[in-house]
Amino acid sequence: MSGSSSEDEIAGDHVFYRDRPEWKDIQPIPQDEEDPVVAIDYSPQFTDVFDYFRAVVKKGEKSKRALKLTQDAVKLNPANYTVWQYRREILMELAEDLQAELNFVGGVILKQPKNYQVWQHRRILVEWLKDPSQEKNITECAINKDAKNYHAWQHRQWVVKKFSLYEGELDFTEKLIEIDVRNNSAWNHRYFTIKNSTGFTEAVCRSEIDFTLKNIQKAKENESSWSYLRGLMLHNNEGLSGNEDITSFCEQLYESGNRSIFLLSNIIDMCKEQANKNCKDPKYPLNRGINLCEELATKLDIIRANYWNYIGDNLRKLLS
């Protein structure tokens, strides 16, 4: 673990705890590793800080100096759950300034944006403070660095739902989708926002269908937008095959020679949908779906041939 940027950060001005007069009353506790197969090469700073941290935890000391010790420990290993948990216990015991702590963990997050523990610590602070005012901004900063940062998205969805901060979320996802139409996280957040705010009303579905079809047109092989379209129609009684905008769009794509796996999959679903509705003169007959399954299995998506053969067999059962 030696040589990390976090260790370099404190190494220059680090005064070993064993050399600090105010810590003479604490007996450090070394890590208990009996005959390790491969010993971890801890740096001297790391060993010093965590030996004293173990001693403080054993003693149960919750003081200003213990809080500073946890800060050094966090810099060395921000993924250590025990350090963050003990730090929270000290914060509560001493009634420390939680806003200052929020600023501190914000700085750690910007350096360690994919670390679960730092986001969890921040979430607890926000719950204690009941103040979500900075959360959209910090998640946006993390998402701008990595648009698919799971922890940042999870935190954003939590804070949006917890404090009903849905305003502006559709615009936020639209901006990200404009940058990268394949950003599945942005599509997922868009669905999450509508589901938990306005709901999928008829007007919302119409607007979202239009938005989605325009984005499919930009990238016809993009699974995210096709999946979003399918999700929309789960909330619409007319289904995929009953919406003229969708059927017209799909047929135009098909007639133009497009053979996207997701387009064909959609048409197959339309065939099955109309069969289940017992349409007397279906626009999407089962035979068409069966033929498309065969085309996918033998030419267009051979790697998933077994899957398409299975779907085709199910359609044949419906036909019979």
Pull the structure tokens for residue 118.
Answer: 């730092």
Give the C-alpha separation, 121 to 31, whole Å: 25
Rounded to 5 degrees, what angle do the CA atoms 257, 260, 261 make? 140
Give the C-alpha separation, 268 to 265, whole Å: 5
CA distances from residue 96 to 56, 92, 99 in whole angstroms, order as listed: 19, 7, 9
Marked catalytic residue, from 59, 111, 114, 272: 114
DSSP 23: G
Q: What are phi and psi of 97, to 5 degrees?
A: -70, 105
CA distances from residue 85 to 27, 46, 92 in whole angstroms, order as listed: 22, 19, 11
Pull the structure tokens for residue 2.
Answer: 């030696």
Smallest CA-to-CA distance from 102 within 67, 77, 61, 133 is with 133
Helices (H), the chain: 5-11, 44-59, 64-76, 81-94, 98-111, 116-129, 135-145, 150-162, 169-179, 184-196, 202-218, 223-233, 244-255, 261-276, 286-295, 305-319
Cα diameter, the chain: 90
* Catalytic residue status for 114: yes
The one-letter code for the residue type at 131 is D
Identify whether the C-beta of residue 318 lies closer than 8 Å to the C-beta of residue 272.
Answer: yes
Give the C-alpha separation, 312 to 227, whole Å: 20
97 CB burial (10 A radius; 0-12, 13-18, 19+): exposed
Give the C-alpha separation, 72 to 115, whole Å: 17
Q: Which residues belong to the active site?
A: 114
